[in-house]
Amino acid sequence: MKTYQDWRAIRSLLPFIWQFKGRVFFALSLLTLAKLANVGVPLALKQAVDALDPQQQPIIYLPVAMLIIYGGLRLTSSVFSELRDALFAKVIFRTVRRIATTIFSHLHNLSLRFHLQRQTGGISRDIERGSRGIGFLLNFMIFNILPTLVEIGLVCIILLLNYDSIFALITTGTILIYIVYTLLVTEWRMRFRRAMNDMDSEANNQAIDSLLNYETVKYFNNEAFEVDRYDFKLKQWEQSAVRNQISLSVLNVGQGVIIAVGLTALMLLAGQGVVDKELSLGDLVLINAYLLQLYLPLGFLGFVYREIRHSLADMERMFLLLDQQQETADTANAKSLNVSQGKICFENVAFFYQKQRPILQQIDFTIEAGQKLALVGASGSGKSSIVRLLYRFYDPQQGRVLIDGQDIREVTQHSLRQAIGVVPQDTVLFNDSIFNNIAYGETGADADAVISAAKQAHIHEFISHLPDGYDTLVGERGLKLSGGEKQRVAIARTLLKNPAILVFDEATSALDSHAEQAIGQELLSVSANKTTLVIAHRLSTVVDADTILVLDHGRIIERGNHDQLLKQGGHYAAMWALQQSERSNDFDNNNSVI
């Protein structure tokens, strides 16, 4: 299974590499020239040594040509290798960039269900390790393993043709034993590497989750608890890392023994050949040079193979992200949504996250163009799920959602979401300036448009009194701003987008009564000619709605405008009476304090 995944990961790289096929072929040509020059170095050195050996012949001249050729071949090998690396650098880093971008784009296209279950820290670490592994794999697999194997073949052929076959047999046998030993032990070691990766991702998840919830940790005085949980994960990582290092030492010692035995045996044979006058001193030097030239890269080959296996293990988790399927995807013939009026229809919609737990049942309603519809009800009654279906985070299991008569499953998600502006209850801002957070609603907007949106959201004056004004950084998730300030930034962002359909998911819940009333009036004017869907907890904010739907356990139990629902004396009327009583008590309490 792992071998299949490894080859799958390698195949996944080929389309990215093939875009630079000319550069790759040129780099391989330089590699071939470098290896040919490298194999020729010992031959030139042998000729130079034999010319200088007084046992062979009287020394009457300095073999200048051979020494120059020797130096030239070494220089050629080095220069071609460096040129190859420089030429191939663009292939490596562009491939890493494009794969990372592809995965990042894919993650943004995955469903809300995936992102509600994901662990951000682990995903971040998987992408980081996988990207690093791609660079190593491309560089060393193409320019180290294959060339070293070719060089081994050339040297064995030279030894077989020019010397006793025992030299080639010992060389080949040593290399084969080395390779088999390396493969077997490395496969055994991979379990420890994978365990290290798993524990590393889990520890990173733990750390990031704890830091993101810093305030909660402080509220419950659980710093020591969080440290203990993090340390427990690191303890598991430590155990896997120690096993990984011990297994590496076992591998290195075994490789060293194999190389030492083979090298010693060959040098003993070559030395005996010189003593017996069967070989020249140059032959001894040539054999020694070839052996060093082979075994040093072979030792490195073991390292490279280990690292490639590690890189493939690192890449496995990253490529698994690409296997995640989009839950809501555009159809092949999806067209852009054409919003001429903004009429919204939910026709007999049923929806669930899990079959045994229905969320919405038989939801039927229409919001006429330019009208305002409010959804009210207890927590868990299905209000937010209706918004998620409208925005097509999910598709209903039954029924359909229409905008101006167009089934939203048959239009592109981009055009659908471009037509809808949402102000969520839980506002999360980017760790950027206030200006850029507002401008996120329309990334091409100019400063005047951003400021105008801020004024409409009644936050311009607050921003103007800040030392850095619109350049003020809001902190991670906007934690430097209060809940009300964050919500007003979110309202400004949506107003800047200027969509045809507006959705307010308890958009003023974090505001005080005065700010809520001021912004409420502004939202009324902004949404006057727009189709508006409002989720509200405070019923006083939706008394002007054209239609109010009361939800309970995923069903619409009452509908009508404010006056009609009060006359019915049902669930809505009870909710209204309760909230009015609470407001009256709050008012009395405030007056008694004064």
pLDDT at residue 549, rounded to an integer: 93
Q: What is the mean pLDDT of residues 127-135?
A: 73
**Contact call for residues 492 and 526 (beta carbons, < 8 A):** no
Per-residue pLDDT reduced to its tens digit, 51-89: 666 565 555 556 677 778 777 877 887 787 778 777 777
Residue bearing the bigger pLDDT, 250 or 81: 250
Per-residue pLDDT reduced to its tens digit, 282-329: 777 777 777 777 766 666 666 777 677 777 776 776 777 776 666 677
Instruction: Say which CATH topology domain 2-323 has.
Output: ABC transporter transmembrane region fold (1.20.1560)
Take residue 16 and report the two structure tokens written for it.
Answer: 């990215």
Per-residue pLDDT reduced to its tens digit, 407-426: 999 999 889 988 988 888 77
Spatial distance between the Cα atoms of 367 and 46, rounded to a whole number of angstroms: 92
Mean pLDDT computed over every residue of the chain: 79
pLDDT at residue 262, rounded to an integer: 83
Residue 224: CB atoms within 10 A of its CB come to 8
At 516, is the pLDDT very low, low, confident or very high (cuts 50, 70, 90)? low
* Strand-pair category, 547-552 with 555-560: antiparallel
pLDDT at residue 117, rounded to an integer: 60
Spatial distance between the Cα atoms of 414 and 301, rounded to a whole number of angstroms: 49
Phi-psi region of 547 (alpha: psi -120 to 50; beta: other; left: phi over 0): beta
Q: Is the per-residue pLDDT at 345 higher than 90?
A: yes
C-alpha distance from residue 139 to each of 136, 146, 348, 588 (Å): 5, 11, 57, 75
At 594, is the pLDDT very low, low, confident or very high (cuts 50, 70, 90)? very low
- Which residue do the tokens 């017996």 mark? 276
Q: Is the per-residue pLDDT at 264 higher than 80?
A: yes
pLDDT at residue 378, rounded to an integer: 85
Spatial distance between the Cα atoms of 157 and 148, rounded to a whole number of angstroms: 14
Give Cα 523 distance to the centre of its chain: 38
pLDDT at residue 285, rounded to an integer: 78
Q: H/E element holding 294?
A: helix 281-323
**Contact call for residues 113 and 290 (beta carbons, < 8 A):** no
* Strand-pair category, 531-535 with 501-505: parallel
Spatial distance between the Cα atoms of 58 and 78, rounded to a whole number of angstroms: 34
Take residue 5 and report the two structure tokens written for it.
Answer: 């995944």
Q: Count how many residues are written for the chain.
A: 594
Q: What is the mean pLDDT of residues 322-345?
A: 82
Per-residue pLDDT reduced to its tens digit, 474-506: 887 777 888 778 888 888 888 888 888 988 887
Amino acid code (one letter) for 75: L
pLDDT at residue 435, rounded to an integer: 92
Q: Which of 60-69, 215-224, 226-235, 393-402 has the lowest mean pLDDT?
A: 60-69
Q: Coil, strand, or helix at residue 118?
A: coil
Question: Which of 184-198, 314-328, 442-456, 509-523 has the largest mean confidence?
Answer: 442-456
pLDDT at residue 241, rounded to an integer: 86
At 394, is the pLDDT very low, low, confident or very high (cuts 50, 70, 90)? confident
> For a pLDDT cut of 70, what percent of the chain falls above it?
81
**pTM score:** 0.61
Spatial distance between the Cα atoms of 3 and 312, rounded to a whole number of angstroms: 10
Per-residue pLDDT reduced to its tens digit, 84-130: 777 777 777 777 777 778 777 777 777 666 655 655 555 666 777 77
Q: What is the mean pLDDT of residues 173-189?
A: 83
Per-residue pLDDT reduced to its tens digit, 156-177: 777 777 778 888 788 888 888 8
Per-residue pLDDT reduced to its tens digit, 347-390: 999 998 878 788 899 999 999 988 999 999 888 888 888 988 99
Instruction: Say which CATH topology domain 339-419+539-594 has.
Output: Rossmann fold (3.40.50)
Question: Which of 35-39, 166-170, 495-499, 509-513 has the largest mean confidence?
Answer: 495-499
Residue ranges of domains in the chain: 2-323, 339-419+539-594
Supply the angle between the helices 21-52 and 281-323 in degrees, to the nearest 10: 160
Among 149, 156, 239, 145, CA closest to 191:
239
Residue bearing the bigger pLDDT, 63 or 19: 19
pLDDT at residue 556, rounded to an integer: 92
Spatial distance between the Cα atoms of 274 and 163, rounded to a whole number of angstroms: 12
Among 124, 130, 137, CA closest to 92:
137
Q: Is the per-residue pLDDT at 246 higher than 60?
A: yes
Per-residue pLDDT reduced to its tens digit, 536-565: 888 888 888 899 999 998 899 999 999 999
pLDDT at residue 593, rounded to an integer: 44
Amino acid code (one letter) for 475: G
